[in-house]
Amino acid sequence: MTSMQVALSIIIPVYNEVDNVEPLYEEIVATLSATDFPYEVIFVDDGSKDGTVEKLYSLSQRYSNFRVVYHKRNFGQSAAFLSGAKAARYALLVTLDGDGQNDPADIPRLVEQVQDFRTVVLGNRKKRDDNYLRKLSSRIGNSVRQRLLHDGCPDTGCSLKLFPREAFLALPHFNHLHRFLPALFKRAGFKLVNLPVNHRPRRHGVSKYGVMNRLFVGIHDLIGVRWLLKRPCAPEVSTHER
């Protein structure tokens, strides 16, 4: 890690996670209280119907760095990440799932990998705590994606990532974008760092993704992203005035 100023906006999409949000926030605070950089935690409620909204509002009244963005209906994880990024106050974003399977203790390890604002750190779940079918579908999806996109990321399904806010907002945004962040950041010239991270069992509730989601959702997006990668990026422009 260089001497660059570190301040984190931690973005957590949630959909019907009423029993998970408070324990997850407490873990984040316990981890980051041992660091010296400022941070905020932004929960993005994606149209929950189980009391998550009320729980988030209650917590936001108790903690000054606890922020909430609300979607009136369910728009999906990519839209939630975008809404959180737009609301973020800091230049570096950390994303993770709201079900507690990503370990907040890994966040400082992600920060250690950052050399400058051209670095993207990608979590790689080495020991996944999921059932066989879920791991198989993810393995197939990752294999197909890597073969077509050559994105250099073995586990794009891991939500635990760190990247610059400005760069993320400059990407072309579409549904299921989060599946293709490594490819799009690589296209834009960013350095990608894959970091082994912890993966834990879900504490409460049920997963919002099934085997069919992981295998077949996003095929059209995969084709579209492959097309996009073959097109040049917009140039970075600088001017010199006398």
**In this predicted model, what pLDDT tens digit does every residue of 119-145 receive, in sequence order?**
999 999 887 666 556 666 667 666 676
Give me the pLDDT at residue 24, please. Answer: 98
Helix axis angle for 21-32 and 52-62, nearest 10°, is 30
Going by C-beta distance under 8 Å and a sequence separation of 6 or more, which residues neighbour residue 83?
44, 69, 71
Give me the pLDDT at residue 136, please. Answer: 64
**In this predicted model, what pLDDT tens digit does every residue of 164-180 receive, in sequence order?**
999 999 999 988 888 89
- 161 pLDDT exceeds 60? yes
- Give the pLDDT band of residue 240 (cuts 50, 70, 90): low
Residues recorded for the chain: 242
**In this predicted model, what pLDDT tens digit does every residue of 71-129 receive, in sequence order?**
999 999 999 999 999 999 999 999 999 999 999 999 999 999 998 999 999 999 887 66
- 1 pLDDT exceeds 60? no
Give me the pLDDT at residue 208, please. Answer: 59
- 43 pLDDT exceeds 90? yes
Contact in structure between 112 and 197 (CB atoms under 8 Å): no
CATH class of the structural domain 8-229: alpha beta
Give me the pLDDT at residue 150, please. Answer: 74
Average predicted confidence (pLDDT) for the chain: 87
pLDDT > 70 fraction of the chain, expressed in percent and rounded: 80
Q: How is residue 9 written in tokens?
A: 């906006």
Give me the pLDDT at residue 156, please. Answer: 84
Q: For the CA atoms of the chain, what is the radius of gyration?
A: 18
